Structures are given as structure tokens and as C-alpha cells.
Amino acid sequence: MDASETDAEGKPENTISTLLPMCDGKWNYGTEIHCFISKNESSLDYLDVHVGSCLIDMYSKRKDVMLGRRVFDRMKCRNIVAWTAMIMSYIQNGDCEEALALFWRMQLSDDGKQIHGFVIINEFNHQVSLNNALIDMYCKCGDLSYAKRVFDNDAYCKDEISWSLIIAGYGLHGKGNEAVSLFNGMLQMGIKEGLNIYNSTVTVYGISPIMEACACVADMLGRAGQLDRAGVH
């Protein structure tokens, strides 16, 4: 193969992106194609989005995430396919921290909602950390309806962070009634869990408790026969 060999549309990039998936399990061939791309950088649209995504996927399958990330970082432009390929490469290889770090970076590129769609379609919506990341993203963007939609998803078990994020989100955007309604739902989980989440909204997110929330906590403790604890919350 040389840089003059093209597909029917006259684009060598299309030929390359067709060949790469055929290298599944034959990593030497895939590496040779990558070398060819690097050597012909001046005559090719170097790391075309589709070609780059195929390379990332190939390196993910051979568990070489570092090389995949190198490809990702050298891409001149990225679309949702490229972001998804790299994030999923981290997830599939057990590096959730890097996946989430890249997820936060992706938010700045305005592709957050597209990755949300991918998460749903590919049934990763049961993972607590991903759902919490989505809730946090939508709350920060002020899109509370989407944040609530993620939160209401029954496919994953909500943890303390989930409750804290959604309540804090409504509180920060001046939606007091909705925040109190969520707060009441949280308290139904039980005294220990409810108080832990209540306290975290203050200590972690710096949100001062509103009167209605304080009343809810006092009422809960009173009904539980622990009114003496109400004064400290």
C-alpha cells in the first residue's frame, strides 16, 4: 500500500479505516498500518476522525491504552465517535479514573449530551460513577431537567453522592421547592443515610441549609424519638 492507493471515492483514509477493523487479533498488521499513516502524514489528512477512532479501538482491544491515548491526543479534530472510543477504551481496560477525567474534559467541547446518549444505548447506565458524573455535568450546565432524568433512572442504585449532587444542583439554581421535595425523598432512606447526605450538602458543597430542610430534619428526628439531636443539625 502507498499513499496513492485510494478507495472508489479517491480517499486513502477510507481504505485505511476499512482495513483497520480487519486487523482484529493480528496486531502486527494494525501496527504496520499505523506506521504507514505516520510516514505519509504530509499526503494524508493525518489522523482523520474515523481513522483515529479505529486506531484507538484497535489499541484498546490489545490493551495498549497508552498508545490509543497518544493517537487521540494527536488528532487535529475530534467528534463524538473519537471521544467515545477513548473513554470506552479506559472503561474496558479498568481505568475508570482516567475515563472520568476525560469525560470532564469532554464537557468543555460541548459533546456531553452525545456521550450521555451513548451511555444509554450501550447499557452503561447502571454504573453509579458514570450516572453521578452525568448528574454533576447537567447541574453545572443548569440543565436540571436532564439531571433529574438521569437521577430518576432505575437502572442504577443511587448512592450518597447521587442524592447530594441532585439536591445541591437544585439548591444552587434557586429551585428551593424541588430541592425540599428531593430532600424529603432522601430522608425516607433512613436517619443515618439521610443525615449523612444532609451534612455533605453543607460541608462538601457549601450550601447553607434552608429553613424547610431544617424543619424536615427536625420532624424526622422527632418522629424517630431523637428530638435531642435536632438542635445540632
Q: Which overall architecture, per CATH, does domain 126-233 show?
A: Alpha Horseshoe (1.25)
**Which residue shows C-alpha cell 436532564?**
146
- The pLDDT value recorded for residue 69 is 94
Q: Please classify residue 54 by burial: count the beta carbons closer than 10 Å to its beta carbon, then call 0-12 exposed, 13-18 middle and 19+ buried.
A: buried
Q: Is the pLDDT of residue 72 over 80?
A: yes
Assess whether pLDDT exceeds 70 at residue 88: yes
Using pLDDT thresholds of 50, 70 and 90, give the confidence band for residue 157.
confident
Q: For residue 190, what pLDDT is reported?
A: 61
- Single-letter amino acid, residue 196: N
Domain coordinates in residue numbering, the chain: 1-124, 126-233
Q: Is the dihedral of CA 49, 55, 56, 61 positive or negative?
A: positive
Cα(37)–Cα(34) distance, rounded to whole angstroms? 5
* pLDDT value for 119: 56
Q: Cell numbers at residue 46, please? A: 493525518
Which whole number is the average pLDDT over 115-122? 54
Angle between helices 144-151 and 160-172 (to 10 degrees): 160
Instruction: Check if the beta carbon of residue 49 is closer than 8 Å to that of residue 75.
Output: yes
Task: Give the least confident one: 73-82, 101-110, 115-124, 137-146.
Answer: 115-124
More confident of the two residues 54 and 2: 54
pLDDT at 29 over 70: no
Does position 36 have pLDDT exceeding 60, yes or no? yes
Global pTM exceeds 0.85? no
